[in-house]
């Protein structure tokens, strides 16, 4: 009988400790983890979800085009036509393009140079919602 009481009280104490523990967070803060001198593309709106990190050319590198057919988010999903938001941590300007290989590519967004930390999101309601999951390439111009 005494052993049963000890086991029962230990179980209750253990359950109480578990209920006091804070739940683990499965998400990162918005636009989390984008290094300096990088363009980060995020799978979800407002810098959420997995990210892809693209390193632009060095300053004075002028123009470079990166097609997203060969870029993947950290979770392994290809970034082409899967991007919903971005963060530019470089001094470069960035043009965001839909279907850059077609006869009629479409520029869907732009980040001016010398705007470290500038963000954009596309799948929230608003004037840029049409661009969600359309990004296929970026072009950098680095002064």
pLDDT at position 27: 56
Does residue 122 contact residue 132 with C-beta atoms inside 8 Å? Answer: yes
Does residue 86 contact residue 118 with C-beta atoms inside 8 Å? Answer: no
Threshold 0.95, pTM exceeds: no
Supply the CATH number for residue 117's domain. Answer: 2.60.20.10
pLDDT (tens digit per residue) in 3-19 = 444 444 444 444 444 44
Query: Mean pLDDT, to the nearest integer, of 26-42?
Result: 87
Measured CA distances, 37 to 5, 44, 56, 94, 141 (Å): 62, 21, 7, 12, 13
Both structure tokens of 122 = 């596309």
Residue 16 lies in a domain: no
pLDDT (tens digit per residue) in 106-121 = 999 999 999 999 999 9
Phi, psi of 131 (to 5 degrees): -85, -5
Residue 11 lies in a domain: no
If one counts the domains in the chain, the total is: 1
Range of the domain at 78: 25-142
Using CA of residue 17, residue 19, residue 20, residue 21, what is the dihedral sign?
A: positive
């Amino acid at each position: 009988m005494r052993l049963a009481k000890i086991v029962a009280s230990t179980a209750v104490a253990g359950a109480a400790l578990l209920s006091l523990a804070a739940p683990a967070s499965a998400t990162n803060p918005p636009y989390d983890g984008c290094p300096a001198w990088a363009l980060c593309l995020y799978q979800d709106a407002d810098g959420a979800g997995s990210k892809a990190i693209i390193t632009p050319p060095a300053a004075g590198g002028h123009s470079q085009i990166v097609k997203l057919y060969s870029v993947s988010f950290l979770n392994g999903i290809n970034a082409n036509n899967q991007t919903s938001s971005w963060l530019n941590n470089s001094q470069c300007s960035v043009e965001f393009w839909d279907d850059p290989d077609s006869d009629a590519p479409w520029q869907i967004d732009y980040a001016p140079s010398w705007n470290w930390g500038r963000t954009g999101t596309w799948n929230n309601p608003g004037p840029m919602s049409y661009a969600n999951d359309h990004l296929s390439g970026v072009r950098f111009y680095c002064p």
